[in-house]
Chain A
Amino acid sequence: MEQVETIENNSKEVVINIQHVRKSFGRHEVLHDINMELQKGENLVVLGRSGEGKSVAVKCIIGLLEQDNGIINVLGKEVKTLDENSIKSMRVKVGFLFQGGALYDSMSVRENLTFPLIRVLNIRDNKEIDKRIQEMLENVGLKEAIDKMPSELSGGMRKRIALARTLILKPEIILYDEPTTGLDPITAKEISDLILNLHRKYKSSSLIITHDMSCARITADRILVLDKGIFVAAGTYDELEKSENELVRSFFK
């Protein structure tokens, strides 16, 4: 299959720009020359089967992995060339929701949310910390879980708390790695609705990696379909629903 045009020609500000990115693990090339743009205020969904390199792409964007070739620009800065301090500053503006939530399991919910406030924003005022925590827990509908440990939370609750922890730094861009994976359909829909509501509230730009069509339908302004390391389709949910591409159609069945 051939790579499709994934970059929209309009005058909107671009917050993430990926050009000709390749990434291999040993002899296995996961990403073959991918190109994409995330525009300011946009909800972009990257759809693809498991193992197609979606998570690898998003980890390259945040600098957890380094691409072999190509350029990744985040908020106008090339990630590969950033030093330790610059990458730290960049990460404050880019939130990342991990697939499993990645809550610190030796800390309570309150401590999980306090952790980035103290260490990244250097907020020491307890009133200010409490105010921010309450606001975020209210956003995700889990005010009552404030003193619970992660082991006491269900999968959906863990995702919500992880989302609250991501949002507490008020990032400009949020990267979601499979936000609804492993959840029942009702909880998955709740998380997708939550992503959309928070996107509207905070006007952030989001890149959502998923293979869940329900999540894509609720959250996406635009969808890119990744297959064998290249983007094989691009468009809105409605456009892709009518696609004649066999792989794209299989997602809608």
Chain B
Amino acid sequence: MGRFFRNIFKVGFEWNEFVRQCYLIGYKSFFLVGVTGFVIGLVITIQTDPTMKSFGAQSYVPSMVAISVIREIGPVVIALICAGRIASGIGAELGSMNVTEQIDAMEVSGANPIQYLVVTRIFACTLMIPLLSIMGDAVALLGGFTGENIDGHISLILYFNKSFKYLDFSDLFPAVIKTVFFGFTVGFIGCYKGYQSKRGTEGVGDAANSAVVYTSLWIIVLDGIAAQLTNLFVYQ
């Protein structure tokens, strides 16, 4: 952690590697996050629709889907998906570089492996995961719209009007802020586990595996803390 923060402020930020990581982390996760978001919105709508109908509150389904997805389900599920895809990938990549002495080679050549490998990946995760999360939320609303149209008919404009009727800035802002922390966690734990991996192919597997486990655990813990803080400072 200390080496990461010391290297953030050093001259010579690796912009090219940062952009490459943004592409690998962000663009390459686009499809996975899109499908996940769509299914979340669709399933929540299909599952809640009959119950809401029995209370005569079917017209509130779009709002309920929007609030639950944007406040909670979207950020957490998408961060967990990213933990599986990105943290494990970073853990395995850096673990493999460690095992094959590529990190040592960078270090002995006088280059700075923390700045090149770690700082760029953590920053890319911290930037891209909130963006993926916002994109996933938007696709989830489209999933909800599709779910509503399986049984009945509602226009896209009306659906989105209903969705945003009870949403305000205080729903969106804390959710985006917590995804920044989720992104940092994904990048940091992935890098840490990869960098600290023990020698041998087993070490690479362990690094990838424990990166996913610890990242998922921390995302849940951070979400709990974020929920408490949001209740305390935003909704009261």
- The residues of A with any CB-CB pair to B shorter than 8 Å are 62, 64, 88-89, 91-92, 94, 96, 98-100, 102-105, 115-116, 119-120, 165, 169
In which size bucket is the chain B interface?
10 to 19
Interface residues of chain B, those whose CB is within 8 Å of chain A, are 12, 97, 100-102, 104-112, 116
Task: List chain B residues, Cβ under 8 A from A103.
Answer: 102, 105
In the complex, the answer to whether A96 meets B110 with C-beta atoms within 8 Å is: no
Q: Is the CB of B108 within 8 A of A91?
A: yes
In the complex, the answer to whether A98 meets B105 with C-beta atoms within 8 Å is yes
Contact A119 B101 (CB under 8 A): no
Q: Which residues of A contact B97 (CB under 8 A)?
A: 104-105
A116: which B residues are within 8 A, CB to CB?
109-111
> Does A100 lie within 8 Å of B101, measured CB to CB?
yes
Q: Check B109 against A62 for contact (C-beta < 8 Å).
A: no
Look across to chain A and name the residue whose beta carbon is closest to the beta carbon of B16.
A118
CB nearest to B20 among chain A residues = A106
Complex Cα–Cα for A100 and B96 (A): 13
Given known pairs A119-B12, A119-B116, the reply for A64 and B104 (CB within 8 Å) is yes
Q: Which residues of A contact B101 (CB under 8 A)?
A: 98-100, 102
Q: Tell me which residues across on chain A come within 8 A of B104, comparing CB atoms.
A: 64, 98, 102
Question: Are A64 and B12 also in contact (CB < 8 A) when A102-B102, A105-B100 are?
Answer: no
Closest to A104 in B: B102
Partner of A64, one of B102, B108, B110: B108
- B100 CB to nearest chain A CB (Å): 6
Q: Which residues of B contact A120 (CB under 8 A)?
A: 109-111
Contact check, B109 vs A105: say whether CB atoms are below 8 A apart: no
9 contacts between A and B (CB under 8 A): A64-B107, A100-B101, A102-B100, A102-B101, A105-B100, A105-B102, A119-B110, A119-B111, A169-B110
Measured between beta carbons, the chain A residues less than 8 angstroms from B111 are 115-116, 119-120
Instruction: Kindly provide the distance from the CB of A1 to the nearest chain B CB, expressed in whole angstroms.
Output: 30
Closest 7 CB pairs of A and B: A102-B105, A102-B101, A119-B111, A120-B110, A96-B108, A92-B110, A91-B110
Q: Given the complex of chains A and B, what is the CA–CA distance between A104 and B102 in angstroms?
A: 6
Chain A hits for B112, CB < 8 A: 88, 119
- CB-CB under 8 A from B109, the residues of chain A are 91-92, 96, 115-116, 119-120, 165, 169
CB neighbours of B106 from chain A (8 A): 104, 115
Q: Are A100 and B100 in contact (CB under 8 A)?
A: yes
Chain A residues whose C-beta falls within 8 Å of the C-beta of B116 in the assembled complex: 119
Q: How far is the CB of A164 from chain B (nearest CB, A)?
A: 12
Which residue of the partner chain, among B100, B105, B110, contacts A88 with CB atoms under 8 Å? B110
Contacts of A105 in B (CB 8 A): 97, 100, 102
Cβ–Cβ contact A104 & B108, under 8 A: no
Cβ-closest chain B residue relative to A166: B109
Q: How far is the CA of A92 from the CA of B110 in the complex (A)?
A: 6
In Å, the complex CA distance between A169 and B108 comes to 12
Question: How far apart sit A99 and B105, CA to CA, in the bound complex (Å)?
Answer: 11
Min CB distance A130 to B, Å, is 18
